[in-house]
Structure 1
Amino acid sequence: MASNAFVSEIIGLLSFLALLCISDSSKVTPDKFFDVRRYSAVSDGKTDNSQAFLKAWREACNCDGKCWVSVPKGTYKLGNVGFVGPCKGVTGFLIRGAIVAPTDPAQFTERWILFQYVENLLIKGGGTLDGQGASAWPHNDCRINPHCKPLPATLSFDFVTHSRIHHLKSLNSKSVHFNLFACNNITINKVELTAPADSPNTDGIRIGQSNHIKISQSVIGTGDDCIAMINGVRNVVISNVSCGPGHGISIGSLGRASNEQVHDIKVLNCNISNTQNGLRVKTWAPSFSGMVSNLTYQNILMNEVSNPIIFDQNYCPNRSCSKKAQSRVKISNATFKNIRGTSRSKIAVNFQCSGVEPCDRVTLDNINLAYHGPGGPAESLCRNVKGTSTGTQRPPACL
């Protein structure tokens, strides 16, 4: 009997602990907000609020739970700042107002707003980042100067993981809008990145040395690539993105350094309109060795795109390269499925691959690209590429 009583007591104690756990789990810690105005930020569009933003960040970064730097409606001038982790919990920026960049060339550095070594970062709010790029674009001489000084990227993420950026606008960046380096598991969606078509080097999103990146439901129109993927990029999914104006969705350029790699890229259900290129891979010639593999482009609508599908393995924008030079970057296993629309150029499908490392396992499946200009209809051009074609092929496939 004593034994049964002891067992009953144990069962009762366990039941009590279980109820206690359920009770505790129902308690939700409220979000904490650190309003930049509490740290003397002024929304007059003229005062440099760098120190106020940094003070708010330090408190948010060091608090437990979900903690936000809050930027209310208004216009806040912000100098070059770095928000550095690691942080204790989930740390976010809730941007309701407009944040504007410096216009004094003496303040131009490579980055305007930097997030570094942060895990579980959230940025949202529907606000605007105004890079005031018109103050910087005349200083961009990169087309003629290979040693040009980089202009500021609007948002830079270095060593940021498990984070999300959404419902945000970036306007007139001086250079790249969003730059990702050494990041892992980043989701970007419902952002709007815009700059004039003739603004130099204003890539929408540039990704390097990063893994597991998702970009979706966004509008990107700039003076350079809508999305650019450079060395060390793996496992990227781009979906439901509207691109244009700009230079399209690009991989590269690659080959300026040894063993540059890009793998496992998917571009799905996107619209590309009035761009210089559509879906592009570009590598230098001559180049070091490298590899681009496992590319999937599916359900893409083109509207008056100059080079809808292009592999350019003779990339040399300054035209000082030898015509006999060859790229040593290998492109393999690329599928183009359900690509349709209109081409602004007669060569709608253009594979210019390397003679020493030919492209292989390239698949064209249901391509329908019309050209209505002089000398039509559209044509395909293939050099040093092996693969297959199936379904509709307009222009006629050269694989």
Structure 2
Amino acid sequence: MKICQCNNINVDGVHIIAPQGSPNTDGIHISNSQNINILNSVIATGDDCVSMGPGNKNILIQNIACGPGHGISIGSLGKYNNEADISGITVQHCTLSQTMYGLRIKTLASDFKHTAYNITYDDVVMDNANHPIFIDQEYCPSKGCDESKPSSVQIKDVWYKNIRGSSKSQSAVNLKCSSKYPCDNINFFNIDLLYQNSDNSVNANCKNVRGSASGIQNPPSCL
């Protein structure tokens, strides 16, 4: 399902299925839209359950059962010069099961300056998500990327609250931000992730990021 250049759209109670190994099968993709609500749905795909591209404003993703797939993603951003900013994104009361990623923001290495801001993730359960929390500003979907060039997308004012469950990898939190425009005001509150429902430890990795952490922090915060 693709929602493009739309305003005031509600998607409620849909069930979307694609084979787990099928490429480029986003369940719902939203771009250049505002006031969009995706509610009470089940999505199992070979790519993102929900993906949000540039130009979106005031998007609510609520009560989604996602998995398998690549999780709930913002991006990729920074591909084109004329992209509009993305802001006002809320993801809450969701469960991600056996996904490759959990909550992901991804930007390409380019000179195109854009901003992603005012983003909130709240009350999200991970069931063996491979990378539950992931900001990837070194995203390179093909071999043609210039890895020496930092992303010019600014990510700021992001809140992760009450994120809990299990991680399939020990690297549960990865914040790989741009050296040119470091992530700013990234906030963690009550993060409680375990390694595959066992007592083994998980870890957090931060790069070029400023923010704060409070409440439960498992893994120990790198902020």
Could you state the TM-score of these two structures normalised by the residue count of structure 1? 0.54
Report the identity percentage. 46
In structure 2, C-alpha distance between the alignment counterparts of 1:239 and 1:279, rounded to whole Å:
13
In structure 2, C-alpha distance between the alignment counterparts of 1:335 and 1:282, rounded to whole Å:
16
Please name the residue that 1:362 is paired with: 186
Pair 1:340 & 2:158 matched: no
Q: Which has the higher Rg, Structure 1 or Structure 2? A: 1
Please name the residue that 2:112 is paired with: 288
Alignment of 1:120-131 (within 5 A): none
Instruction: Give secondary structure in 1 for the equivalent of 2:13.
Output: strand
Please name the residue that 1:222 is paired with: 45
Deviations 1:240-284 (A, max 9, x none): 000001100000001011253110000010000001110000000
Deviations 1:167-216 (A, max 9, x none): xxxxxxxxxxx101110000000000001110111111001110000011
Pair 1:205 & 2:2 matched: no
Report the Cα offset of residue 324 of structure 1. 1.4
Deviations 1:272-313 (A, max 9, x none): 000111000000013411110000000000001011000000
Instruction: Give secondary structure in 2 for the equivalent of 1:264.
Output: strand
Alignment of 1:1-399 (within 5 A): 178-258=1-81, 260=83, 261-372=85-196, 376-399=200-223
1:346–1:373 Cα contact (<8 Å) kept = no
1:255–1:283 Cα contact (<8 Å) kept = yes
- In the alignment, structure 2 segments of 5+ residues that lack a partner are none
Deviations 1:37-72 (A, max 9, x none): xxxxxxxxxxxxxxxxxxxxxxxxxxxxxxxxxxxx
1:306–1:344 Cα contact (<8 Å) kept = yes
1:259–1:291 Cα contact (<8 Å) kept = no
Could you state the TM-score of these two structures normalised by the residue count of structure 2? 0.96
In structure 2, C-alpha distance between the alignment counterparts of 1:191 and 1:249, rounded to whole Å:
16
Instruction: Give secondary structure in 2 for the equivalent of 1:355.
Output: coil
Report the Cα offset of residue 239 of structure 1. 0.6
Bigger proportion of residues as strand: 2
Please name the residue that 1:155 is paired with: none
In structure 2, C-alpha distance between the alignment counterparts of 1:327 and 1:223, rounded to whole Å:
26
Instruction: Give secondary structure in 1 for the equivalent of 2:14.
Output: strand
Letter in 2 for 1:207: I
Deviations 1:370-392 (A, max 9, x none): 11499x41000000000000000
> Of the two structures, which has the highest relative contact order with CA contacts closer than 8 Å and spacing of 6 or more?
2
- In the alignment, structure 1 segments of 5+ residues that lack a partner are 1-177
Deviations 1:304-335 (A, max 9, x none): 10110000000111133232110000000000
Instruction: Give secondary structure in 2 for the equivalent of 1:225.
Output: coil
In structure 1, C-alpha distance between the alignment counterparts of 2:37 and 2:111, rounded to whole Å:
29
Letter in 2 for 1:189: D
Please name the residue that 1:150 is paired with: none
Compared with structure 1, are the counterparts of its residues 287 and 225 closer, same or farther at alpha carbon in structure 2 (3 Å cutoff)? farther
Instruction: Give secondary structure in 2 for the equivalent of 1:196.
Output: coil
Please name the residue that 1:29 is paired with: none
Instruction: Give secondary structure in 1 for the equivalent of 2:68.
Output: coil
In structure 2, C-alpha distance between the alignment counterparts of 1:320 and 1:397, rounded to whole Å:
33
In structure 2, C-alpha distance between the alignment counterparts of 1:247 and 1:211, rounded to whole Å:
23
In structure 2, C-alpha distance between the alignment counterparts of 1:206 and 1:303, rounded to whole Å:
23
Compared with structure 1, are the counterparts of its residues 235 and 310 closer, same or farther at alpha carbon in structure 2 (3 Å cutoff)? same
